[in-house]
Structure 1
Amino acid sequence: MPGGRAYWLTQKLWAAAAGLPVISVAIADIPEFDQDCWFRGQAPTLRDVAGHTRRIMAADLSYPIIFSADGALMDGGHRIARAWIEGRTQIDAVRFTIDPEPEEVRSL
């Protein structure tokens, strides 16, 4: 999003993605898997890591991850991490052809 970062409510994003075709994506091909998506350049504390570990282990792999129209990850980082921990090389995904309007845009 030019000049800012877009945010969507997860349930609304899932509803907007319902009905999109599900594809299988190689985890190794997801750029965000090797990027700092959670800590915003700050060194994480043990509490930060533990909090994300809890979310990773609770992640429901029956939901596909969601990509924007330009291929950026919109939802599913914890599911990607869980799939990888479980030894999977592929994960189900959907991709918008036109992104839904964000709930909020925050200035960078």
Structure 2
Amino acid sequence: MGSDRVAPQVSQEELLAAMPGVIKETLPLVPWRIQRLWRLKLPVQRIAVDELAWLFELPLWQLNGERFRVSPRQVREDPDGYPDHLRRVMASDLSYPIHLVEHNGRLVVLDGFHRLLKASIQGRREIDAMVLSRADLESIRAPA
């Protein structure tokens, strides 16, 4: 199929303009900092993988340098077609919890899509997760 080449750097505005509507509707569009997220000390909960499996439909990942081209479901169903993505998924470390936040009445992943897919591929029923509050999400917001 193609490789997981790095997509070119773009501004936040360009990224939002290129983002499919389904992602804009599903995920919070708050720009946040990964380092701030990882520093949060939140309780770890066990969350059912099936509760989050609907997120596997989102075209989250890039292909051949183009963003929003590959969904986790595609990687799961055609691992030979997406070897770079499959390698990243299988190399992900399930000892680190994923990060979730409630958005539009449902839990969604902020960080940890690769780990979530790995847990699903391995047949795990639950995954460790930290659930952010709205205040937590605001605390990791990137400066404007």
Note whether the superposition's TM-score is higher than 0.5.
Answer: yes
Which structure 2 segments of 5+ residues have no match?
1-23, 72-78
- Change in 2 beyond 3 A, CA 1:50/1:68: same
Q: Percent identity?
A: 33
Superposition CA RMSD, Å: 3.0
1:10 aligns with 2:34: yes
What TM-score results when the alignment is normalised by the length of structure 2? 0.56
- Between Structure 1 and Structure 2, whose CA radius of gyration is higher? 2
Relative to total residues, which structure has the larger helix share, 1 or 2? 2
Which structure 1 segments of 5+ residues have no match?
none
Distance 1:13 1:75 in 2: 9
- Change in 2 beyond 3 A, CA 1:79/1:43: closer
Distance 1:35 1:96 in 2: 21
Query: Which fold has the larger relative contact order, with Cα–Cα distance below 8 Å and residues 6 or more apart in sequence?
Result: 1
Please tell me whether the aligned partners of residues 22 and 64 of structure 1 are also in contact (alpha carbons under 8 angstroms). Answer: yes
Distance 2:31 2:83 in 1: 24
Number of equivalences: 100
Match of 1:60 among 93, 101, 105: 93
What TM-score results when the alignment is normalised by the length of structure 1? 0.72
Match of 2:56 among 33, 46, 67: 33
- Structure 1 runs of 4+ aligned residues shifted over 4 Å read none
- Secondary structure of the residue aligned to 2:55 is helix
The one-letter code matched in structure 1 to 2:141 is: P
Please tell me whether the aligned partners of residues 61 and 70 of structure 2 are also in contact (alpha carbons under 8 angstroms). Answer: no
